[in-house]
């Protein structure tokens, strides 16, 4: 095909060629009428609810690298800035449309743009040589399939802007690139640039953009094979892609290189990543892939009647009709015939879609014999496996796009061969409406999930107004906090990742952000321990540590698993008995409290003088004993001498994640547990402060209520030598450490048995367990049996598309004690065992983890810290889960539970001097003048220059990140402020304060000139660079010819 021919439609289009656009628009209008629920917002699941405050959203996108509003602040892990291109027209639309209609309108607009784009692509590129009526009918058939297929249905069922953008602009991107390579005129280059700009919002989910890069590379590859003269055009097209997207792409690549592990290792991803892959694989067989059915059909939630049901329940029931399924097979076969016709006719324009079809089919069909070998090849690449853990959401539209192309091509070939021609319309019409029949529930109001058509109460908009009047640089903690999943259910028909932050400028510490930030997740572990253990003083300490100004308590939040786990009564008790928390405002079921704390930064900045230095840093913890006893502290210091330090050997006894993440070592013998950790040799000659003996931690209660005390005290060893100390129940004691070389510290804790313990060998309780299937929606095979392996007897659990469960009820265990749970197990095949510890008072899982997937027997250790003083009872729950056709086989040998001296272990510390009390320091911000115009920039004027000689630390209340840099400048103007790394002197001592925020030790100086400190987040300059690169786009026009 000659370049002029492929573009001829723009000059000599047939008048009726535009009627299909009108038809598609009219059809979508009917669907809108049938699916819109008056007065509702399209809200829920993952969504970008930026219409609540469009200008705020635009500001956040322009300064989109550091996400200040997300909890404690974090490096953007998604392409947040990319949404800027969608937000600007949304701002204009908000002047004409009611706020609740905006998301409805935008998603329907995306449906129209995408289906119209598929029509245009078929009409002008693929079917260009066919007769006019055939082109129109074939193109319209392909457009209808692109609009009415199960991939589109599922991806729009819970609409998410990046996916909607991909659907809308994928056909237009190929349309523009095909035309540009056929005729590289300035007009076509301008169209290419504009369409690339419009498609930018797909980059919000970076993997969606990278999928596009992959498939457009296939296109460029084939075009290069056609002619080497296309190389220059391809380079220009690739350059356009980079320049247009660089403002969000460069920061996203920075995240991928420096922080991607944070997302992969987050608690929720640890729990769900493998499940997601297996659910994709469950629907990766030939039957489901042909129909484009994905794992959405496997999701279950509480429906509007309060009953657990499939999320796509109406669609599940629709496909129980065998004729509908056969109709799906027919559509796929017709598309497949279109592929064969393309190969037979040697249509070079269809070679790229053929490769796209094969690759997307293989990656989604990862359980299709032979074809799955392609996906296995891809998944051998570690980065690919990490990025595409849920291949359906990334490749569903790609497969639908290619199928629609070949369906339109098949229809065109079929009607071209018809004789007589007057039957053309009567044959084409059934082929066009087949996809509409296949997705008929769209016309009965089931395009969207009922729960995303939400009646958001007016109270929330009153909350938005309230916080708009408060200082924007304050921090909000929302409650309840009962689950790490970052998924919230409201009584007014909402389930999703949340929406409050789209209408509130202040940072909100919500669980939705934990997957992008270790600090956010660790706050959750700390605040939930404080709340569910009923410790008011610890709760207040955590508010101090994270400098929380507001509590937002929302009684509209519900838990369908168990209402008790919300723990409203304990939360309100803590709030009502605290003199540091004051009710400020109430809007319906929402209460807003203001805190009155010591730690009061100004615009997230404060000065701290002579604060303690603490080692070691921890990664995960639910009880920060250092802050509890000392208040503010700093760590990871370079210029501070060891004599200033405190060292907590067992600072973290947290076991709520994977076993290989424990920050201590533990082993056992027949009589005792041995806790091990390390004391650096620099602490030789310092003092080990041994806490007072908590009487209740050391007693052993027998079943007859008799008590023994004294013979269960811990013993201490350093490098194998015993550390002698005098136990006291009244006060702590100090022991001077000897000189040592290695610093191996051991705490030997005698095993306490009796009433508050459990051993599975007693009465063979483990091997007599009767298991049950605890998944009512997957009723596959399961069994359990006792088997001899590794010279031991094991309980073998087998599951296939089921959950094989059993419980151990420990109703006598008092919650005021801490316990060590030991489980010996190994995994033979499939998923390892899900282990939870259910608190019988709160009805919440205090521990929820997967046991190790080791193929050999291992001991796993889990610590339950002291909870409520008067509570009692835990349930150990074991769940052997199989998803789809993947078997799960696991073995358990023994389970033991014993009390441990938790307070004793966590309070152990090495100090500089023989002192028992440490001075606590307050903070100050009155000596600072702070200018903070955007999340990545702080200008701080020190009103007293002597602060540089007072051992003060400048603290930035944002999550610690090496990208934060502080510079001292003595002259101040716009250029110096914008580029302090060129004109200022960097403060080198970048510290971690309170194990989560940034600090800089102010150096000693004799310079008495007025001083300003500029703090910048350097990666933000990558986005600025991307904006600057837009200026190169006009240069590309110099390398193409003028439009003919």
pLDDT tens string 13-22: 566 778 999 9
Q: Which element (helix H / strand E) includes 633?
A: strand 633-635
Confidence (pLDDT) at 615: 92
Q: Please give the domain boundaries of the chain with CATH numbers for all domains.
A: 3-35+76-449 (no CATH), 456-597 (3.40.50), 614-631+647-753 (no CATH), 756-904 (2.60.120.260), 923-1018 (2.60.40)
As a whole number, mean pLDDT of residues 216-226 equals 96
Is a pLDDT exceeding 70 seen at residue 77? yes
Is a pLDDT exceeding 90 seen at residue 104? yes
The whole-angstrom separation of Cα 910 and Cα 407 is: 73
* Helix and strand totals (H; E) in the chain: 32, 48
Q: How many CB atoms lie within 10 A of CB 929?
A: 12
Closest CA to 500 of 49, 134, 863: 49
Residue 229: partners with Cβ closer than 8 Å, 6 or more residues away: none
Is a pLDDT exceeding 70 seen at residue 1028? yes
Residue with the two structure tokens 């990664």: 619
In tens, the pLDDT along 896-953 reads 999 999 999 999 999 877 554 554 455 565 678 999 999 999 999 987 666 565 678 9
Confidence (pLDDT) at 948: 62
Is a pLDDT exceeding 90 seen at residue 354? yes
The whole-angstrom separation of Cα 748 and Cα 758 is: 20
pLDDT band of 8, cuts 50, 70, 90 = very low
Confidence (pLDDT) at 964: 98
As a whole number, mean pLDDT of residues 155-178 equals 98
pTM value surpassing 0.85? yes
Confidence (pLDDT) at 609: 84
* Cβ pair 220, 237 in contact under 8 A: yes
Pairing, β 508-509 against β 476-479: parallel
In tens, the pLDDT along 866-880 reads 999 999 999 999 999
Confidence (pLDDT) at 13: 56
Is a pLDDT exceeding 80 seen at residue 419? no
Confidence (pLDDT) at 916: 47
Radius of gyration of the chain (CA): 32
Give the DSSP letter of residue 187: H
Q: Is the bond leading into 323 cis (omega within 30 degrees of zero)? A: no
In tens, the pLDDT along 30-62 reads 999 999 999 999 999 999 999 999 999 999 999
As a whole number, mean pLDDT of residues 103-116 equals 98
The whole-angstrom separation of Cα 208 and Cα 165 is: 10
In tens, the pLDDT along 970-999 reads 888 899 999 999 999 999 999 999 999 999
Confidence (pLDDT) at 85: 97
Is a pLDDT exceeding 90 seen at residue 277? no
The whole-angstrom separation of Cα 523 and Cα 283 is: 37
3-state secondary structure of 300: strand
Confidence (pLDDT) at 383: 64
pLDDT band of 271, cuts 50, 70, 90 = very high
Least confident of 95-109, 512-526, 767-781, 1019-1033: 767-781
- Who has greater pLDDT, 525 or 707? 525
Confidence (pLDDT) at 696: 78
* Cβ pair 283, 297 in contact under 8 A: yes
The total number of residues written for the chain in this structure: 1044
Q: Which residues pair with 946 in a beta bridge?
A: none
Residue with the two structure tokens 């003088």: 609
């Amino acid at each position: 095909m000659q370049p002029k021919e492929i573009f001829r439609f723009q000059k000599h289009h047939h008048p009726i060629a535009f009627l299909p656009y009108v038809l598609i628009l009219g059809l979508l209008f009917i669907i809108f009428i049938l699916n819109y629920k008056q007065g509702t917002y399209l809200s829920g699941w993952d969504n970008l609810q930026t219409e609540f405050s469009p200008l705020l959203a635009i500001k956040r996108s322009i300064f989109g690298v550091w996400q200040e509003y997300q909890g404690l602040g974090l490096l953007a892990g998604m392409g947040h800035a990319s949404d800027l291109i969608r937000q600007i027209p949304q701002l204009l639309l908000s002047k004409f449309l009611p706020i609740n209609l905006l998301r409805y309108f935008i998603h329907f607009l995306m449906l129209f743009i995408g289906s119209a784009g598929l029509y245009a692509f078929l009409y002008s590129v693929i079917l260009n040589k066919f007769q006019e009526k055939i082109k129109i009918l074939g193109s319209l058939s392909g457009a209808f399939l692109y609009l009415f297929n199960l991939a589109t249905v599922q991806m729009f069922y819970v609409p998410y802007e990046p996916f909607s953008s991909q659907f809308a602009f994928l056909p237009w991107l190929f349309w523009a690139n095909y035309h540009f390579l056929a005729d590289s005129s300035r007009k076509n280059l301008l169209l290419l640039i504009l369409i690339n700009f419009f498609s930018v919002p797909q980059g919000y989910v970076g993997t969606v953009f990278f999928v596009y890069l992959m498939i457009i590379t296939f296109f460029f590859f084939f075009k290069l094979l056609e002619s080497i003269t296309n190389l220059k055009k391809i380079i220009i097209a690739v350059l356009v892609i980079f320049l247009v997207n660089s403002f969000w792409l460069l920061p996203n690549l920075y995240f991928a290189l420096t922080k991607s592990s944070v997302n992969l290792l987050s608690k929720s991803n640890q729990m769900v990543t493998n499940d997601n892959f297996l659910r994709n694989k469950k629907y990766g067989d030939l039957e489901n892939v042909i129909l484009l059915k994905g794992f959405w059909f496997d999701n279950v939630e509480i429906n509007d009647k309060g009953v657990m049901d499939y999320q796509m329940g109406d669609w599940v029931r629709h496909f129980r009709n065998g004729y509908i399924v056969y109709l799906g097979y027919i559509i796929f076969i017709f598309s497949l015939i279109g592929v064969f016709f393309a190969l037979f006719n040697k249509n070079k324009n269809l070679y790229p879609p053929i490769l796209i079809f094969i690759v997307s089919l293989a990656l989604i069909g990862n359980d299709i014999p032979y074809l799955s070998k392609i996906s296995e090849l891809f998944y051998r690449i570690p980065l690919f496996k990490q990025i595409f853990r849920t291949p359906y959401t990334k490749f569903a539209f790609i497969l639908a796009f290619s199928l629609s192309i070949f369906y339109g091509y098949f229809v065109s070939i079929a009607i071209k061969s018809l004789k007589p021609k007057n039957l053309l319309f009567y044959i084409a019409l059934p082929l066009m409406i087949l996809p509409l029949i296949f997705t008929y529930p769209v016309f009965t109001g089931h395009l969207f999930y009922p729960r995303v058509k939400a009646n958001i109460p007016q109270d929330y908009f009153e909350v938005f107004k309230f916080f708009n009047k408060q200082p924007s640089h304050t921090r909000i903690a929302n409650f309840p906090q009962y689950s790490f999943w970052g998924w919230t259910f409201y009584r007014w028909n909402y389930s999703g990742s949340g929406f409050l932050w789209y209408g509130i400028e202040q940072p909100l510490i919500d669980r939705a952000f934990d997957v992008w930030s270790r600090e956010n997740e660790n706050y959750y572990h700390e605040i939930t321990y404080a709340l569910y253990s009923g410790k008011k003083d610890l709760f207040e300490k955590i508010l101090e540590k994270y400098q929380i100004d507001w509590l937002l308590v929302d009684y509209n939040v519900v838990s369908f698993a168990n209402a008790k786990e919300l723990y409203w009564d304990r939360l309100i008790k803590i709030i009502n008995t605290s003199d540091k928390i004051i009710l400020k405002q109430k809007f319906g079921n929402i209460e807003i409290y203001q805190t009155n704390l010591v730690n009061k930064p100004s615009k997230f900045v404060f000065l701290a003088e002579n604060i303690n230095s603490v080692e070691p840093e921890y990664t995960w913890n639910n009880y920060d004993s250092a802050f509890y006893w000392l208040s503010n502290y700093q760590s990871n210091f370079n210029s501070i001498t060891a004599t200033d330090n405190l060292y907590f050997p067992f600072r973290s006894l947290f076991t709520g994640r994977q076993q290989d993440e424990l920050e201590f070592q533990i082993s056992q013998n027949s009589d005792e547990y041995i806790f091990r950790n390390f004391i650096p040799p620099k602490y030789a000659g310092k003092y080990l402060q041994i806490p007072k003996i908590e009487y209740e931690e050391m007693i052993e209660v027998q079943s007859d209520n008799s008590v023994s005390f004294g013979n269960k005290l811990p013993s201490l060893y350093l490098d194998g030598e015993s550390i002698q100390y005098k136990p006291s129940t009244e006060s702590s004691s100090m022991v001077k450490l000897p000189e040592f070389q290695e610093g191996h510290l051991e705490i030997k804790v005698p095993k306490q048995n009796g009433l508050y313990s459990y051993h599975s060998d007693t009465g063979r309780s483990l091997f007599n367990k009767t298991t049950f299937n605890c998944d009512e929606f997957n009723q596959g095979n399961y069994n359990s049996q006792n088997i001899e392996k590794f010279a031991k007897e094991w309980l073998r659990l087998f599951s296939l598309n089921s959950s094989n469960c059993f419980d151990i009820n420990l109703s006598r265990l008092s919650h005021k004690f801490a316990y060590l749970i030991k489980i010996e197990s190994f995994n033979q095949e499939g998923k390892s065992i899900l282990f939870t510890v259910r608190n019988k008072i709160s009805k919440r899982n205090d521990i929820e983890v997967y046991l190790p997937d080791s193929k050999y027997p291992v001991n796993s250790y889990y610590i339950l810290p002291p909870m409520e003083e008067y509570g009692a009872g835990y349930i150990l729950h074991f769940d052997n889960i199989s998803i789809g056709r993947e078997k799960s086989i696991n073995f358990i040998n023994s389970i033991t539970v014993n009390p441990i001296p938790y307070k004793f272990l966590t309070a152990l510390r090495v100090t500089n001097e023989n002192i028992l009390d440490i001075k606590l320091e307050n903070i100050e911000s009155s000596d600072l003048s702070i200018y903070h115009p955007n999340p990545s920039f702080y200008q701080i004027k020190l009103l007293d220059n002597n602060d540089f000689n007072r051992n003060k630390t400048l603290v930035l209340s944002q999550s610690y990140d090496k990208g934060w840099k502080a510079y001292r400048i003595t002259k101040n103007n716009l250029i110096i402020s914008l580029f302090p790394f060129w004109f200022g002197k960097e403060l080198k001592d970048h510290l971690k304060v309170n194990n989560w925020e940034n600090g800089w030790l102010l150096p000693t100086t004799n310079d008495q000139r007025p001083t300003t400190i500029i703090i910048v987040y350097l990666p933000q300059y990558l986005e600025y660079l991307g904006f600057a690169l837009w200026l190169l786009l006009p240069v590309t026009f110099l390398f193409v010819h003028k439009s003919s």
